Structure 1
């Protein structure tokens, strides 16, 4: 069995960095433990919070992480699909006919390839008669419109999550804040004192829930607007590609009809009279 040189270098680097990595890990855990004992640090406020406030904070942190993951995935897919759609549009516009695209678009999974195969399938099923031209165009246009709608629907997956997080995260954080302040007032009544040093940690941890809610909501709103603008441009590109496929199909049908009309017609030879 051959061992890759890259694997040997990676293993050597891990072994060389082993003690340093272990030291950094110990430092990290010690710093985390110190932050947990500090009541005015974010981690300390989280550890000292009520279980309801902790649940609110954890749910908002999960929503914030989900927002970032969805945005990174969607924006990457959107850019890739737009580049594929742009290349397919240029290739079809350069070729100028559907009959010459079988070798180029037969295996492609892009939207333009789906539209071309749908138009060719409808034409082959309907025939090239002059009376069938309008029907072929109508049925192919309907199929192309469904392909456009499906591509736009697939691209919008996840945008609803961003919208929901952006609209509800501040209120969820506010709920945690209200709950924490309520507990602070309860502790004031139980301690029979209005000393701010006693109730300040509870109020601070309650306000932390609102801060986390804003941290989750603000990027969600920004990312949703970015994706909405990108989706608007992508839908326009889909419409342009569909219109190009329909124009190319119509041109092919007209050329086929013209070629059929220019075929030489032979006059019927009159039958000779029977002798």
Structure 2
């Protein structure tokens, strides 16, 4: 059983600041470059890492993350390779929490129990599977929890007080609050609405609440971090990768540094939020 997520949030609470949670797509733009970028994230300021599992029908993802998934799949990324990337990351980083995020279909094809066992062996700490509602907890959530993997659930602006207990029932690690309705990266979050929503969720759970979807700048991260236990950034990071590639969609000498530079800037914003607490 892993407790990296719990330990990280405990440390951050003692420091009096929110977490910077970074999302990247496994295998984007290729396996080796992606691994190098992921390895650089903690030193750049990432407190937790979400790693996307590429899927051919990513219904909740915006254009930037969809394109990242297409690049990864075109390059031959598979769930088995993604797990191998996690294992290689763990060789040099035993402490940073790492969460796999994606859709159920690849996991179902892999085999649920085989996947859970392989994820634990590789060093995965938690799962976010966006198309599995609480009514389907028997499919993956409960088998994952039984083995010690956190299962992180999404709450949205449309998750009312009647629905929220069901969403939170088997959630562990943290709650991921989607700050806007729609797809990833489609709009900027409203800080006042986020603050009210986080407060409402915290009335139902002691778990940390992290806020994502639409956060792109250090200023936005700082503002959201005043209310949330963590700020999730994804589309901005995969866009930084995309803009660094050559005409053929391959990595350049700018690709590895582009993400680290942006994460460092975002980390400054998140860390400044401690002053407002």
Q: Higher relative contact order at CA 8 Å, sep ≥6: structure 1 or structure 2?
A: 1
The interval holding the TM-score normalised by the smaller chain is under 0.3
Normalising by structure 1, report the TM-score: 0.21
Higher fraction of helix: 1
* Higher radius of gyration, 1 or 2: 1
Normalising by structure 2, report the TM-score: 0.21
